[in-house]
Amino acid sequence: MNAGRMLVVSGPSGSGKSTICKRLLQDPRVVFSVSATTRKPRPGEVDGRDYYFLSVEDFRQKIAEGAFLEHAEVFGNLYGTLRAPLAEAKARGHIYLLEIDVQGANQLRALGEEGVYIFITPPDFEELKRRLAGRGTESPEVLQRRLHKAEDEMRERHRYDHIVINDDLDRAVAEVRQHVGLDTASTEVR
Ligand code: 5GP
């Protein structure tokens, strides 16, 4: 089998999905979908690697050009998946990893985009609260917004092909790898 595959990973902030995605990306067969966003870069983030950081005008221009497969507003900023790199990654037989929110995943499903859709959850909501608060980087107001969004997202989890509980990082990564076919001998994605 040589066709690439799309892997969509969603989950509330604090679920540990970014850490899981970083681990998945250690496999050379997995390629990260670099989204465009109007959010300002955080310290350490690199344009073109973590995101394409665009102005609102440039982002809107790209919407008008039809450059996005999906786009959504999250926490007051715009985020979007670019169309072109997905097609290229698929043609190359890669597993193309999209770390996007539930609105984006819903749009892709509505478009009939085939792929493996995975939702990452923390073991329970109390743990999620602890993880979000523990970051210590957010104001109480932002924290509250993230918690509300997390609750909204959790309600959507049953729409995904698989729900992976992130109570143990190694196990959660292994589970995702299995769901996307990275650990079965018969799966050749290159
Ligand atoms: P952050 O600003 O913390 O990097 O991301 C905020 C949220 O936006 C996360 O849930 C992330 O998965 C989501 N996100 C990142 N890129 C995209 C994208 O291209 N499309 C959509 N719909 N959501 C995205």
- Cα pseudo-dihedral 161, 25, 185, 189, rounded to 10: 90
DSSP character at residue 3: -
Rounded Cα gap, residues 156 and 158, in angstroms: 6
Rounded Cα gap, residues 127 and 154, in angstroms: 14
CA 124 to chain centre: 20
Q: What is the mean pLDDT of residues 128-145?
A: 82
pLDDT given for residue 1 in this prediction: 46
Q: Of all protein residues, whose CA lies closest to atom 2 belonging to ligand 1?
A: 39
Asked whether 88 and 25 are in contact (CB, 8 A), the reply is no
The domain spans of the chain are 5-180
pLDDT given for residue 142 in this prediction: 83
3-class secondary structure for 147-173?
HHHHHHHHHCHHHCCEEEECCCHHHHH
Strand partners, 70: 81
Asked whether 184 and 151 are in contact (CB, 8 A), the reply is no
Pocket of ligand 1 from Cβ distances under 6 Å: 35, 39, 70, 72, 74, 79-81, 99-101, 103-104
pLDDT given for residue 2 in this prediction: 52
| Cα–ligand 1 centroid distance for 20 (angstroms) | 15
Q: What is the mean pLDDT of residues 137-148?
A: 84
Closest of 60, 71, 134 to residue 106, by C-alpha: 71
| Cα–ligand 1 centroid distance for 7 (angstroms) | 15
pTM exceeds 0.75: yes
Q: Of all protein residues, whose CA lies closest to atom 10 belonging to ligand 1?
A: 101
Fold of 5-180: Rossmann fold (3.40.50)
Q: Of all protein residues, whose CA lies closest to atom 24 belonging to ligand 1?
A: 100
Question: Which of 101, 121, 152 for a ligand 1 pocket mutation test, highest count of atoms within 8 Å of Cβ?
Answer: 101
| Cα–ligand 1 centroid distance for 185 (angstroms) | 32
Residue 76 has pLDDT above 70, yes or no: yes
pLDDT given for residue 54 in this prediction: 98
